[in-house]
Amino acid sequence: MLNNKKVGFIGAGAMAEAILKGLLEIGILTASQCMLSDISEQRLQYLSNQYGVSVTQDNLALVKHSDILILAVKPQIIGKVLDEIAPTVDKRTLVISIAAGICLSRLEETLQGVRVLRVMPNTPVAVSAGMAAISLGNLATKEDGQLAVKLFEAVGRAVIIAEDLMDGVTGLSGSGPGYAFVIIDALADAGVLVGLNRQTAILLAAQTLMGAAKMVLETGEHPAKLRDMVTSPAGTTIAGIHVLEQNGLRTALIDAVVEASKRSSEMNK
């Protein structure tokens, strides 16, 4: 699917590097297929030395190089970038934007006649455990969506969704790592309270959450069924769950996702 495809990244920050690293490590792309542009010459030099990829500070040169163009710039400057590259983007180029909050209509309005995708990845792409949601523009094909899934599965998992669900994705998986870090920190505090040292408590908490998530993903079972499997009558787990329910953990998490989704919608407008 990606044989002989040239992939270009406008923007060479942490998210772009994570995606690039994942693609190279699993062999979907070779360094010779990749080029990155950025305003920072020092950043480009680092990436060139680290991964052997081509780099440039000329966005238009990168656009001409690319069969697949990934826009990995901040939302505040994507308008300027779009205006700059619009006259140069070939109609055969697939453009993928990972700029938060930039809707497909905005991309299509500037890049007229070009196939565009919008992707919302989250920060665990940095450790190849990310989650990405992909929405297809009006001209994008099913094959374009499959290609994007393949790209982002190099750094985790990916799903295709309707764009009107993107705010919900932002509230759940985009902001979700933040919720998880709070939970891990709280569990670690509890571990310290019952006598564990901080380092051990953090390890126990983080590995436990990772293991539980892996069980959900790999078994395909509903979380409630897996919970029941570890909840013995009159045992320790049900005692702990009882306290969580009394204190509204479930409601707090649901409310957090809803509020984050509302905030995403407000920011997009």
Kindly state the average pLDDT of the residues 180-201.
Answer: 98
**174-268 carries CATH number 1.10.3730.10:** yes
Binding-site residue positions for NADP(+): 10-15, 72-75
Kindly state the average pLDDT of the residues 180-199.
Answer: 98
Place of tokens 């792409």: 125
Number of other residues whose CB lies within 10 A of the CB of residue 183: 15
Q: What are the boundaries of each domain within the chain?
A: 7-169, 174-268
- pLDDT at 267 exceeding the cut of 90: no
> Is 153 in contact with 131 (CB distance < 8 Å)?
no
Tell me what pLDDT residue 264 has: 87
> Is 2 in contact with 29 (CB distance < 8 Å)?
yes
Binding-site residue positions for NADPH: 59
The model's pLDDT over 76-99, given as tens digits with 9 standing for 90+, comes to 899 999 999 999 999 999 999 999
The model's pLDDT over 199-252, given as tens digits with 9 standing for 90+, comes to 999 999 999 999 999 999 999 999 999 999 999 999 999 999 999 999 999 999
Kindly state the average pLDDT of the residues 176-203.
Answer: 98
Kindly state the average pLDDT of the residues 64-82.
Answer: 94
Confidence of residue 1 (pLDDT cuts 50, 70, 90): low
CA atoms within 13 A on the CB side of 141: 6
Secondary structure tally for the chain: helices H, strands E: 12, 8
Integer CA distances (angstroms), 243 to 182, 237, 240, 246, in order: 18, 10, 5, 5
Q: How far apart are CA 264 and CA 242, in angstroms?
A: 33
- pLDDT at 268 exceeding the cut of 80: no
Binding-site residue positions: 10-15, 59, 72-75
User: DSSP H helical segments within 86-222, as ranges?
Assistant: 104-110, 142-152, 166-169, 176-193, 198-219
Fold topology of 7-169: Rossmann fold (3.40.50)
pTM for the structure as a whole: 0.92
The model's pLDDT over 149-170, given as tens digits with 9 standing for 90+, comes to 999 999 999 999 999 999 999 9
Mean pLDDT of the chain: 95
- pLDDT at 135 exceeding the cut of 90: yes
